[in-house]
Structure 1
Amino acid sequence: MALTSKITAYDPDWPRLYQSEALRLRQAFGPTLLEIHHIGSTAVTGLAAKPEIDILILVDDSDVAENMTAALVDLGYRRGGDLSAGHSFFKRDVDGVRTHKLHLCLAGHAKAIEMLKFRDHLREDSEARDAYGRLKLQLEQENTKGISEYLQGKEPYIQRIVDGL
């Protein structure tokens, strides 16, 4: 079973695509947005990735996801499942192709901290970045059950890195 997108070589246009989307999101969220970050593999120079821009928004109100759903729908997003208490997920497709994933977290949420730590580590450690890239390509090649199998395959590597930081 295919992933949402095929893993491709790093595209130097990904930071610009993030900046463009971040501007749209800042305007929609206004003062409820505390921080916005480019996360995930597209945020790490040189790392192969699914060409889907991952974005993390930090807020301080647990009702923001509910209150912002209509505005996000207007921006082309649809609500995914909540990943945990205080961590909501939205996705955006253009012409049937996934382009953006939005993690909306309460400030200080453990998963938000983990995502930022992992991104920063991969940006600083080229060996870890390259090993992660090889793992992702291997998991994509071996994948038979879709995105959940792929995510489960990456989790031990991510957790090992984050636990060591």
Structure 2
Amino acid sequence: MPILVELVPHDPSWAQTFSAAEEVLRKALGSCVLAVDHVGSTAVPGIAAKPIIDIDVTLSSLTDVPGASADLIKAGFEPRGNRYDDDVWAFLLRSSVPHLRVYLCPPANRTHERRILFRNYLRQHDEAAAKYSILKRRLADQFPYDGDRYTSEKSQFITDIVSKAQEDTR
């Protein structure tokens, strides 16, 4: 059954939800955690987002993924797989409001690095954040029950912003 692409205005409490989730994740996953990062649109103040807190958990090694996966499943997270063959494994906690989507990442993972570059650029450039929010709303209206298309149609904008962010760090 198709699921509605639901965007809501930014909610300042998302930062607190992330902080509470970070504490739970660090406790559940233990010493293999190098970093826990709030990523995705809920991590950028002022922009519309799906009410799902996206969290990247960087582990000390790729070999930590199976154990960490088992720990997340024990904690009630639903495994969502490694959809893009990028060594990033996704998990969803539906019992949380808003939902939590956790990604287990090995160190120096390219997908994770791109997410951080994108998030930071939008946090530092209000005009780019506003353009992204407008694009997201247009795509949600255009593809209300096609989440894959909604996501794929954002990819060029994201690639352009990541390129700008990489140029800024040089």
**TM-score, normalised by the number of residues in structure 1:** 0.92
1:9-36 per-position Cα deviation (integer Å, ceiling 9, x unaligned): 0001000000111110000111100011
- Judged with a 3 Å threshold, the aligned counterparts in structure 2 of structure 1 residues 149 and 98 are, in CA distance, closer, same or farther, namely farther
| 1:13-162 equivalences in 2 (<5 Å) | 13-82=13-82, 83-94=84-95, 99-143=99-143, 146-162=146-162
Task: Name the SS of the counterpart of 2:154 in structure 1.
Answer: helix
Aligned Cα root-mean-square deviation (Å): 1.7
1:71-102 per-position Cα deviation (integer Å, ceiling 9, x unaligned): 1122221111203242111111128x770111
Task: Name the SS of the counterpart of 1:86 in structure 2.
Answer: coil
**Contact residue 42 and residue 54 of structure 1 kept, 8 A:** yes
**Contact residue 92 and residue 98 of structure 1 kept, 8 A:** no
Deviates more, 1:152-161 or 1:141-150: 141-150
Letter in 2 for 1:84: D
Letter in 2 for 1:21: A
Structure 2 stretches lacking a partner, 5+ long:
166-170
Structure 1 stretches lacking a partner, 5+ long:
none
Runs of 4+ in 1 over 3 A off after TM superposition: none
1:87-143 per-position Cα deviation (integer Å, ceiling 9, x unaligned): 111111128x77011111111111111000000000000000000000000110000
The number of residues matched between the two structures is 163
1:18-69 per-position Cα deviation (integer Å, ceiling 9, x unaligned): 0111110000111100011001000111111001000011112212221122
**Contact residue 139 and residue 153 of structure 2 kept, 8 A:** yes
Task: Name the SS of the counterpart of 1:49 in structure 2.
Answer: coil
Letter in 1 for 2:33: L
**TM-score, normalised by the number of residues in structure 2:** 0.89
